[in-house]
Amino acid sequence: MRVLGIEGTAWAASAAIFDTDTGEVSIVTDAYEPDSGGIHPREAAEHMRAAIPSVIDAVLAEEPSVDAVAFARGPGLGPCLRIVGTGARTLSGSLDVPLVGVNHMLAHLEIGRHQSGFTSPVCLNASGANAHLLGYHNGRYRMLGETMDTGVGNAIDKFTRHVGWSHPGGPKVERAAKDGEYQRLPYVVKGMDFSFSGIMSAAKAAVDAGNSVEDVSYSLQETIFAMLTEVAERGLALTGSDELVLGGGVGQNERLQTMLETMCEARGASFYAPENRFLRDNAGMIAVLGAKMAASGDTIAIDGSAVRPKFRPDEVSVSWRSDDASYPVSSPDTGPQKGAEATIEMDGDSITKTRIKKSYRHPQLDERLRQDRTRSEARLTHAVRKLGVPTPVIFDIDLGAPAIEFERVGRADLRDQLTIERVRTVGRHLATIHGANIVHGDPTTRNVRVGDRTWLIDFGLAYHSDSIEDHAMDCHVFERSLAGTAADHEQLRDAFEAAYRESGNPAVLEQLEQIEGRGRYQ
């Protein structure tokens, strides 16, 4: 099968031919480069209008016969997508071949899975308008974590525009960072979600205060990419996967790739980053996923092919995969265990949790996070216990390690023994701690232990807050972990919310609904 792919979500007017028999991909791209500032939607659309026909003609001149036409249906800039959609529909009709509408972000993921040969990897997508972590479960890709404000590339571009650099800013930051030294900047990870707004404001203020742009660029990379790597490791720990693929234009950054590779090596996991031409926006990935979809019969009628500027990857019912991920993977209850940021040693009725050094992080950043999180965990584990919510008793604290010795609780992680009643109990527990203005920060199905009772554990990301938004984010993290690990997650989610509503502030669930409707990654 030979599939023509067309990409034009934002800046790259691109066409490609993928031959399934040979595995060869031929790509022609005409990039939009603004004179100043970031991408201007009107100018980008004008570029697409002129460039899309020419790149299509160029690839068809080399490979004139195709069996299907695939196009990027979204997410992206509406005016650009409409031009691409019109071209794809026209070609499909004139050539009398099937039409395939591809989710651009899933194409970033699938090109890595296709080339790596991985079975069921977790995928970190790091691009201009997007930043999220995906894992495949029960027939679709689940959003394990995402940005709470803006995409990683757009965040970096905001800084580079502030210092007068032209688009794209990422490569310029990467070059400047080679001559910089580390400075402390905000680090915001909540469960497997992350935020860039605070760090961008701090970076701009640091430059305005006279700090060198090289130092700030270096610190930006060290902080932002450490956040992405930490979240990726949390995704591996939650799902039990030992495979990670990288997607998106920001993924071309060598420092980010090094961090991810270092993290995976330490975990005994495999890491794959496609070559740069498949990381930045390109039609090759559209053609490859389009071929898989066409082979499975996942095509669309021309009159039903409207573009979708906010097309989330977790909205796509995956037709091209017959396998399902084996999540959840049961956690061993004996011997040393390695979580996302700590090792657990079991000894009779106690466990010792030691936060291990992360060699992918800058030493100063790593030391700060390990110390701060150990103190927070000790303090808030005790505070939550005083509220009547079951948490492990703390036997000893060693800030030098840093390590905490806890009472050993439960028989398994909630992930491995999900029931409606246990999920309802988590709803009541979170409502109770939120009523005392405590936010867990990472209430996933791996951070709840179950047995004759249901315990909340791992308060390393916990903090005090009376913000309804923060309380709703706690609920959001828990529900997302249900979606990533449970086949009947919708029923479990409803039970969780019903219990929370009975015991807590209904305004939190109203805010949760707003959070889930934002589609923040786009």
Same domain, 107 and 123: no
Omega prior to 313 cis, within 30 of 0:
no
In a domain, 392, yes or no: yes
Q: Are residues 132 and 147 in contact, defined by beta-carbon separation less than 8 angstroms?
A: yes
In this structure, is residue 401 part of a structural domain? yes
Position 23 in a domain: yes
Q: Does residue 139 share a domain with residue 16? A: no
Burial of 58 (0-12, 13-18, 19+ CB in 10 A): middle
Q: Are residues 186 and 46 in the same domain?
A: no
Number of structural domains, the chain?
Answer: 3
pLDDT, one tens digit per residue, over 136-171 is: 988 899 999 999 888 999 999 999 999 999 888 999
What pLDDT score does 39 carry? 75
Are the C-beta atoms of residues 235 and 122 closer than 8 Å to each other?
Answer: yes
**Do 379 and 283 sit in the same domain of this protein?**
no
Asked, for residue 19, whether it belongs to a domain, the answer is yes
Q: What is the pLDDT along the chain (522 residues), one digit of tens a residue?
A: 999 999 999 889 999 999 999 999 999 999 887 766 667 778 888 999 999 999 999 999 987 899 999 999 999 999 999 999 999 999 999 999 999 999 999 999 999 999 999 998 999 999 988 899 999 988 899 999 999 888 999 999 999 999 999 888 999 999 999 999 999 999 999 888 999 999 999 999 999 999 999 999 999 999 999 999 999 999 999 888 999 999 999 999 999 999 999 999 999 999 999 999 999 999 999 999 999 999 999 999 988 889 999 999 999 999 999 765 444 455 555 555 677 888 999 988 999 999 999 999 999 999 999 999 999 999 999 999 999 999 999 999 999 999 999 999 999 999 999 999 999 999 999 999 999 999 999 999 999 999 999 999 999 999 999 999 999 999 999 999 998 888 788 999 999 999 999 999 999 999 999 888 765 434
DSSP string, 378-424: HHHHHHHHHTT---PPEEEEETTTTEEEEE---SEEGGGS--HHHHH
Cβ contact 477:447 at 8 Å: no
Tokens 């390393």: give the residue. 460
Instruction: Give the burial class of 315: count Cβ atoms within 10 A of its Cβ; 0-12 exposed, 13-18 middle, 19 or more buried.
Output: middle
Q: What residues are labeled active site?
A: 442
Whether 155 and 126 map to the same domain: the answer is: yes
Q: What is the pLDDT of residue 476?
A: 94
Residue 319 covered by a domain: no
376 lies in the same domain as 491: yes
- Count the helices and strands in the chain (H runs, E runs): 15, 22
**Cβ-based neighbour number of residue 518 at 10 Å:** 12
The residues that bridge with 243 in the sheet, in sequence order, are: 270
Verify that 298 and 340 share a domain, yes or no. no
Preceding omega of 402 cis (within 30 degrees of 0): yes
Residue 412 lies in a domain: yes
- Gyration radius (Cα) of the chain, Å: 24
Q: Residue 308 carries which side chain, given as an amino acid letter?
A: R
Q: Tell me the C-alpha distance between 43 and 27, whole Å.
A: 23
CATH number of the domain residue 395 falls in: 1.10.510.10
Question: What letter would DSSP give residue 91?
Answer: H
Same domain, 103 and 124: no
The CATH number covering residue 25 comes to 3.30.420.40
In a domain, 292, yes or no: yes
**pLDDT tens digits for range 209-252:** 999 999 999 999 999 999 999 999 999 998 889 999 999 999 99
| CA separation for the pair 417, 444 (Å, rounded) | 13
Q: What is the pLDDT of residues 274-292, one digit of tens each?
A: 999 999 999 999 999 999 9
Q: Tell me, yes or no, whether 150 and 231 share the same domain.
A: yes
Residue with tokens 């742009």: 213
Instruction: Identify the H or E element spanning 87.
Output: helix 78-95
Query: Quick check: is 318 in a domain?
Result: no
The reply to whether 292 and 414 lie within a common domain is: no
The range of the structural domain enclosing residue 55 comes to 2-111+278-304
Q: Report which of 398, 385, 463, 461 is spatially closest to residue 429, judged by C-alpha positions.
A: 385
> Do 338 and 385 fall into the same domain?
yes
Q: Please indicate, yes or no, whether residues 258 and 294 belong to a single structural domain of this protein.
A: no
CA–CA dist 407, 140 (Å, integer)? 38
Provide the token pair at 336: 């040393």
Whole-angstrom distance, CA of residue 290 vs CA of residue 366: 42
